[in-house]
Copies of this chain bind each other. A is one copy, B any other.
Amino acid sequence: MELEPGQVHYLLRVMRLSQGERIRLFNGCDGEWQGRLAPHGRAKVAVEVERRTRAQDADDGPWLAFAPVKKSATDFIVEKATELGAARILPVLTERTIAQRVNVERLQATATEAAEQCGRLSVPEVAAPLTLPSFVAMWPAQRPLCVAHPQARDAALPLLDALTGPASASALPAGFLVGPEGGLTSVELDGLAALRCVKVVSLGTRTLRAETAAVAVLAVWQALNERSCAAATPPHFKDNPGQA
């Protein structure tokens, strides 16, 4: 298998690997493979693929939608969402979203690097930015969507209750929407209410930054999922095989 120039740079210059050294490979569908850096010329490097070391795991993680924030915080959200198992990452442009430009290609590269780092066998797809109405229109009706936004406290469910109630998000494919620092407008909240799968959730009494909220919701989902896995019953996969 021949490597791409960016991969060659990373392996030879950053990681300082040399010929004969072993690396692990994944492509998002065939599991994890062990390979060995083959003799190489000046610019081209190949890997001799040796044997499969892990089976592909189901990519049934939550979808994370978020209103893009400034560059470093957006990078951070994508990196942490990848580590915490998000299957799709959806930038959503809301009325109070400050960043209107999103470099999807760079964010996709950030997600790839984070997946390599954390030993994940898939890279979440970073979608092209959507406006909130387009986002509402594309959201699958059967995928629960927990909306976290700073002004929602009184009307909101504690996050764990939203994720562990009957027909809860932890027992189904899950989704989260984290609004911008200024919150969603009431018109936007009404628009979201058109989705029957929406629950507005509370993340406590303090006003979390957008990137903190994004990491927090995924960390809680991941902790619930880890417990389900440890109990050897991944219900979010067994009960709903055909869901989006």
Contacts and interface: CB of A to CB of B under 8 A. Distances in A.
B83 A206 contact: yes
A223 interface: yes
Interface string A203-221: 1111111001001110110
A225 interface: yes
A159 B226 contact: yes
Given A215-B212, A215-B216, A161 B230 contact: yes
A204 B160 contact: no
A188 B76 CA distance: 31
Given A203-B226, A222-B216, A226-B203, A209 B160 contact: no
A84 interface: yes
Contacts of A161: 227, 230
Q: State how many copies of this chain the complex holds.
A: 2
Interface stretch (A62-70, A101-109, A112-120, A126-134): A112-120
A212 B83 contact: yes
A80 B205 CA distance: 14
Contact of A212 (B80, B159, B203): B80
Nearest to A118: B206
Contacts of A160: 223-224, 226-227
Contacts of A215: 80, 212, 215-216, 219
A23 B233 CA distance: 51
A80 B214 CA distance: 12
A120 to B, nearest CB: 5
